[in-house]
Amino acid sequence: MSGSRPTIYDVAKKAGVSISTVSRVLNSPNKVNAETRVAVIDTISELGFIPKAEARARALKNLGRIGVITPFFTEPSFVQRLRGVASVLSSSQYELVVFSVDSITNLNSYLETIPLTRNLDGLILISLQLTAEQAERLSKHNIEVVLIEYPMYSLNCLEIDDQSGGRMAANYLLQKGYTNIAFIGTADTVEYGINPISSRLLGFMNRLSESGITLDAHSIHYASHDIEATRVLAKKVLMQPNPPAAIFAATDLQAIGVLRAAKELNLRVPQDLAVIGFDDLDLAEYFGLTTIHQPLDESGRIAAELLINRIQNPDRPAQHIRLPLTLIERETA
Amino acid sequence: MSGSRPTIYDVAKKAGVSISTVSRVLNSPNKVNAETRVAVIDTISELGFIPKAEARARALKNLGRIGVITPFFTEPSFVQRLRGVASVLSSSQYELVVFSVDSITNLNSYLETIPLTRNLDGLILISLQLTAEQAERLSKHNIEVVLIEYPMYSLNCLEIDDQSGGRMAANYLLQKGYTNIAFIGTADTVEYGINPISSRLLGFMNRLSESGITLDAHSIHYASHDIEATRVLAKKVLMQPNPPAAIFAATDLQAIGVLRAAKELNLRVPQDLAVIGFDDLDLAEYFGLTTIHQPLDESGRIAAELLINRIQNPDRPAQHIRLPLTLIERETA
DNA sequence: GTGAAAGCGCTAACAG
DNA sequence: CTGTTAGCGCTTTCAC
């Protein structure tokens, strides 16, 4: 009974269990019988046992840390994606470290230091772009990366087909018999992000023109990506002579701006004005918004699973996964 | 053979020496032939080799680590709070580790284990309760704790005065001249959470009765805490003979359920039905919802700041901070 | 649900 | 000076 630090063996002996059980109590407590667990925990604190970090690191196959870089503050969609990531990590052996980014400088400094300190097993980037050099550095330092919503040949990517999403929206409106149609999108070019809006518009226009409808400049409008700005714009659009009977908003948030404008003008939705969005945020449901659903939570889940998979089987080639879009019919169109 | 992090064996092989030599280069460089040393060092940096224990140690020690435990999936309010936390930490020297909890078992195993293995400097619990024992264990292991929305004497806490929030809602409706008023709240007793709903109701009733209005059983309704269930309930309530002219919903989410019911019944808001909520979620603004604002993002920010403060000055006494409520007048009441 | 046993990546004798 | 080898304290299959 000397003064040296107690080890897992001491705990095991005193608690009358094997070291495996003690280890399990520490690392996956729910795999241990509740009574046993309590007993072991008591012994642990009685002995003041603290696992030696170094030994632990040695035995661990990897660091057990996955980072997510996200522009957390801006859009609800990021949160939903993060939620998906969290849901798979919480039941895994990985710790979720969140880096929240609010400028390109900020992002770059993360991207520089992470490979150097190498204290992450993997990295998920949500709607953020990186340069070829940054990508190379990460892979050179054996840090697995999954990109959500930014395609890059050499890395694992999760994407959607924005263009075909646009087509779906057009198709739906055409089926409903609309011909007097407008588009409202985002003028923003977020410095660190990407802009799928033009793809959505392109698909939308293509499908319309297949039915002989041309979307000219008078039917394409841009506002910055918030509800208020879009509301103002939409109100203007709807007060023109011969206003559109249907509007495709490039995102749900903008669709909500349109909805608010319609309400102010006492337009009935969908009778006087049909509105269709894109994303299917949580709140789309709250508004009864008809929209193009893209898997947001799901994208986070898949990204995390893919990442863990790659960490454990590093030799597999990078995957590009295209997530399916579906049209959700609710009340606004 | 790209993929997982390089080990000392990889370095040894590539440099054409034994692992002992690599180890010596790392630990007692002067015992190694200069040329060999240089070669090994080159290989090390070529491979981006970082001893795992060191990487982990750096990850766990170099910068501070703050954990947030949150029932992430359930409610928008958690997300807003987390956002507040993230905003402070991103510009600090602290790393944000997110633990997302979906059951009481889950929470308890985190709470038991975190002080032992997870090496956190501080912990923020969002709307989660812990036992006296768990609190004690945390402080015994020098982990500072801040509780949001669950009061506990010995720990730092952030609270709001739900009861006075209820009063504010009542006061507002009374001022507007309403007397035929109903309350809709949550029947849920979330197992791991707390239930401030009854406090809100209590304050609400007290203020009403001061004006001679009694809220009897026929005016108090409960549904589970989601929009759909509340919508169904509200519809029933509003179709009764002599339906209420104003409804105080215990949360914004429930208020939105009420709004949807009103819409289905073609009731004009606020002319035919006034609706007031509680929380002031992001989406309250989208709906033009009049509501009691509680500082959500702010609560996260304050919690993080308080935590960092306590970590740096551990001798300060625990603080209980009560956050102010304000009424936000929008369009629904 | 639990224990035995085989590693994990690394350090530190020891021999050469 | 360098390589071989025996552990370090812990995690994690794999049986039972």
Segment A290-311, tens digit of pLDDT: 999 999 999 999 999 999 988 8
Q: Per-residue pLDDT tens for A70-116?
A: 987 778 888 889 999 998 888 788 899 999 998 888 899 999 988 87
Cβ–Cβ gap A96/B100 under 8 Å: yes
* Structure token pair of residue B135: 């609190």
CA of A54 to C1' of D8 (A): 10
Find the Å distance, CA of residue A57 to C1' of nucleotide D14: 23
Structure tokens at B229: 């269930």
Distance D7 C1' – A58 CA (angstroms): 14
Output DSSP code: residue B317.
P
The set of residues with CB closer than 7 Å to nucleic strand D is: A 7-9, 19-20, 22-24, 26-28, 49, 51-52, 55-56, 58-61, 93; B 16-21, 24, 31-37, 117
Question: Which CATH code of 3.40.50.2300, 3.30.300.90, 3.30.300.30, 3.40.50.720 fits the domain covering B8-41+50-159+299-321?
Answer: 3.40.50.2300
Phi, psi of B265 (to 5 degrees): -90, 10
Chains A and B form CB pairs within 8 A to the count of 144
Can you tell me the distance from the alpha carbon of A110 to that of A108, in angstroms, rounded to the nearest whole number? 5
State the Cα–Cα distance between residues A41 and A26, nearest whole angstrom.
9
Alpha-carbon distance B93 to B115, whole Å? 21
Domain B162-294 listed as CATH 3.40.50.2300: yes
Q: Who among B5, B283, B285 is closest to A142 (CB)?
A: B5
Cross-chain Cβ contact B288/A101 below 8 Å: no
**Residue A322: pLDDT over 50:** yes
Q: Do B112 and A30 count as a contact with CB atoms less than 8 A apart?
A: no
Residue A50 burial (C-beta neighbours within 10 Å; 0-12, 13-18, 19+):
middle
Do B87 and A100 make contact, defined as CB atoms within 8 angstroms? Answer: yes
Taking the CA of residue A321 and the nearest CA in chain B, the distance in Å comes to 20
Chain B neighbors of A287, CB-CB under 8 A: 286
Confidence of residue B188 (pLDDT cuts 50, 70, 90): low
CA distance B176 to B48: 69
C1’ D2 / CA B36, Å = 10
The residue with greater pLDDT, B172 or A10, is B172
Whole-number average pLDDT of chain B: 89
Query: Min CA distance, A171 vs chain B (Å)?
Result: 28
pTM (predicted TM-score): 0.89
Across chain A, mean pLDDT equals 90
* Strand C nucleotides in reach of protein CB atoms, 7 A cut-off: 1-5, 7-13
User: In this predicted structure, what is the pLDDT of residue A55?
Assistant: 86
Which residues in chain B have their CB less than 8 angstroms from residue A101's CB?
A: 90
Q: Which residue has the higher pLDDT, B326 or B102?
A: B326
Work out the average pLDDT over B159-183.
97
The Cα B230–Cα B255 span in angstroms is 8
Q: What is the pLDDT of residue B213?
A: 96
pLDDT value of residue A188: 61
Nucleotides of D under 7 A from a protein CB: 1-5, 8-13
Q: Bridge partners of A160?
A: A323
Q: Give A117-157 pLDDT, tens digit per residue.
A: 778 899 999 988 899 999 998 888 888 999 998 878 789 99
**Number of helices (H), then strands (E), in chain A:** 13, 12
Q: pLDDT above 90 covers what percent of chain A?
A: 56
The Cα–Cα gap between B72 and B16 comes to 50
The pLDDT assigned to A72 comes to 77
What phi and psi values does residue A172 have, to the nearest 5 degrees? -60, -45
Start-end of CATH 3.40.50.2300 domains in chain B: 8-41+50-159+299-321, 162-294
Q: Which two tokens stand for residue A254?
A: 């903008």
Reported for A35-38, long-range contacts at CB under 8 A and 24+ positions apart, including other chains, are: A37/B112
The 10s digit of each residue's pLDDT in B92-150 is: 889 999 998 887 878 888 888 888 777 788 999 998 888 998 998 888 888 999 999 88
Specify the DSSP element, H or E, that contains A242.
none
Query: For residue B201, is pLDDT > 50?
Result: yes
Q: 3-class DSSP state for residue A182?
A: strand
Query: How far is Cα A79 from Cα A66, in angstroms, rounded to an integer?
Result: 17
pLDDT band at B58 (very low <50, low <70, confident <90, very high): low
Residue B187 confidence (pLDDT) above 90: no
Predicted local confidence at residue A1, as pLDDT: 44
Kindly indicate the confidence band of residue B1, based on its pLDDT and cuts at 50, 70 and 90.
very low
Residue of chain B nearest A26, judged by CA positions: B113
CA A218, A224, A227, A233 torsion-angle sign: negative
Query: pLDDT at residue B47 above 70?
Result: yes
pLDDT digits (tens, 9 = 90+) for B224-254: 988 999 999 999 999 999 999 999 999 999 9
The pLDDT confidence band at residue A2, using thresholds 50, 70 and 90, is very low
Does at least one atom of strand C sit less than 7 Å from the CB of B8? Answer: yes
User: Is the pLDDT confidence value at B204 over 80?
Assistant: yes
State both tokens at B289.
Answer: 């919802």
**pLDDT value of position A3:** 57
